[in-house]
Amino acid sequence: MSTATIARLKPYLVQLEKGKSYFWCACGLSKKQPFCDGSHKVTEFLPLKWVAEQTGEKLLCACKHTKAQPFCDGSHNSLSDTYAEAGEADGVGVVLVDYVAGEGGALKAKLDNGCYVIRVPESALSTLGTMKIYPVIGVVDGAKNLSQYQAVVATGQSPVLSYPGSDVVLFIVSGQGTVNIGHRAFPVSAESGVCIKPGEGFQITNKDAEPIAMNISVCPPCATPETLEQMPQVFDTSIPDRVQGVDESKQEAMADRFFQVLIGDKTHGTPVSQFIGEIPQSRAAHHRHLYEETITILSGEGFMWTDETKTPVKPGDTIFLPLKQAHSLECTSPDGMRLIGLFYPSMSPSINY
Ligand code: FES
C-alpha cells in the first residue's frame, strides 16, 4: 500500500459530539482536514468512520501516520529529523519578565495566562520533622489538576505522609535512600520516579550526609499533606514495582530530542505521567497540550517562552503550564537541557498541537 500524504505535522483540535459519526481523512488529500471530503477516490485509501464516545475536544491526526487512528499518538514528531523550531518573527514584541520575591523569599516570574516559573531557595522551605517542604504549584496558583511540592530530607527519617484521595508521584532530584510505601521498602537514587497510590502512606529514609532533594507531585491537587503517627497497612499489590530510573532502552525519540516515561498509566496504572527528557541547544516552535503540566529544569539554561512573555530558566526552576498554554522551552546551553516533566491526566508527552 502506498504512503498517505502528510496533511500537516501536527494534529487538529476538534470538538466532537457523543454518538455522532465522523469520517477521518486517511489519505491526507482532503481540503477539509482532518475530515474526509471525498479526495481519497483517486487513491487506495478509505476514510475511517467512527462514532464519538464522548462530547469534548480531541486531537485528530493530520500526519496520517498515527497508530491510534483517528487520534494523534505523537507519531508526527518522529516524521522529521529536526523538531519544529521557532522562527525570527515568533520573538517580536515578547516582553522579558523579571522574577519577583514572594512568600519566604521564593522568586516567581509570572508569564501569560497564569503560566509561571518559580525559583525556591532552601531558606524558603518550611520544616516538617527532618523534612523541609514548599508548595511550588497549587490551587492558589491557578492549578486545577495538579499540585507540586519541592522537598528536602536531611539524614534520618521523614514523617509518614499521605495525600488522601490523590495519586502521588515523587522524583528524586539528588541524593539516595529508601522510600517506604505501606511497609515495603524501595531503594531510590537520583533521577528515579516513584509511584504512590491513593490511600497509601510514604516515608523517606536517608542514611547519608547528603540530603535527598525531591519533587512531590499530587494529582488531583491536595493543599497539605497529612502527617500520620503510623504507616498505613494499605498497599496496592496489583502494582508491586514502584520505582523507575533512567533506562536508555526505554527512551523514545522525538526528532532530535528524547524522553522516557518514568511513571504512567501503562507502567504503573496511574493517571499521572512523569517523564524525563533532554533537549538540544535550540528553541522549539510554540505548541500546546491538552493537560496541565509542570517542568523542573535539571541541567542547562535557557528561556521559557509564551505568546507574549519570556523569562530565563536554570537548574532547580519549576515551570507551571496551564491547560492549552502556548509555550516553548529554549535551551541556550551547548550541552543541552535535561528536565523532568509531569502532567495529568496521563497520555504521551509527544502529543502536542
Ligand atoms: S498528527 Fe499524526 S500522530 Fe500526531
The pLDDT of 80-105, averaged and rounded, is 83
Least confident of 27-36, 86-95, 193-202, 228-237: 86-95
CATH of 126-244, one of 3.40.50.2300, 2.60.120.10, 1.10.3720.10, 2.60.120.560: 2.60.120.10
- CA proximity to 154, closest of 206, 191, 215, 204: 206
Give yes or no for residue 329 CB within 6 A of ligand 1: no
Average pLDDT, the chain: 93
Confidence at residue 249, expressed as pLDDT on a 0 to 100 scale:
92
Residue 52, C-alpha cell as written in the block: 464519538
In contact, 217 and 145? CB cutoff 8 Å: no
- How does pLDDT run across 147-183, given as a tens digit for each residue? 999 999 999 999 999 998 999 999 999 999 999 999 9
Q: Which of 24, 75, 78, 80 to mutate to test the pocket of ligand 1 (most atoms within 8 A of CB)?
A: 75
- Burial of residue 107, with CB atoms counted within 10 A of its CB: 0-12 exposed, 13-18 middle, 19 or more buried: middle
91 has pLDDT over 90: no
pLDDT above 90 as % of the chain? 80
Lowest mean pLDDT segment, chosen from 33-37, 82-86, 274-278: 82-86
C-alpha 162 – ligand 1 centre gap (Å): 39
| Interstrand relation of 309-313 and 95-96 (parallel, antiparallel or unpaired) | parallel
Which of 60, 65, 67, 80 gets mutated to test ligand 1 (max ligand atoms within 8 A of its CB)? Answer: 65
User: Ligand 1: distance of its center to the CA of 71 in Å?
Assistant: 7
- Compute φ and ψ for 231, nearest 5 degrees: -70, 125
pTM for the model stands at: 0.88
- Render pLDDT for 116-146 as a digit per residue (tens, 0 to 9): 999 999 999 999 988 999 999 999 999 999 9
For residue 256, is pLDDT > 80? no
Radius of gyration of the chain (CA): 22
C-alpha cell at position 180 = 517506604
Lowest-confidence pick of 21-30, 95-104, 194-203, 208-217: 95-104
Report the DSSP beta bridge partners of residue 145: none
- What separation in Å is there between the alpha carbon of 68 and the centre of ligand 1? 9
Per-residue pLDDT for 274 more than 80? yes
- Is residue 34 in contact with ligand 1, taking CB distance under 6 Å? no
The share of the chain scoring above pLDDT 70, in percent, equals 99
CA of 252 to the centre of ligand 1 (A): 16
Query: What stretches of 9-162 show up as alpha helix (H) in DSSP?
Result: none
Domain residue spans of the chain? 12-78, 126-244
Cell of 227: 502527617
Contact 72 CB / ligand 1 (< 6 Å):
yes
- Would strands 167-174 and 212-219 be described as parallel, antiparallel, or unpaired? antiparallel
Q: Which of 3, 8, 24, 72 to mutate to test the pocket of ligand 1 (most atoms within 8 A of CB)?
A: 72
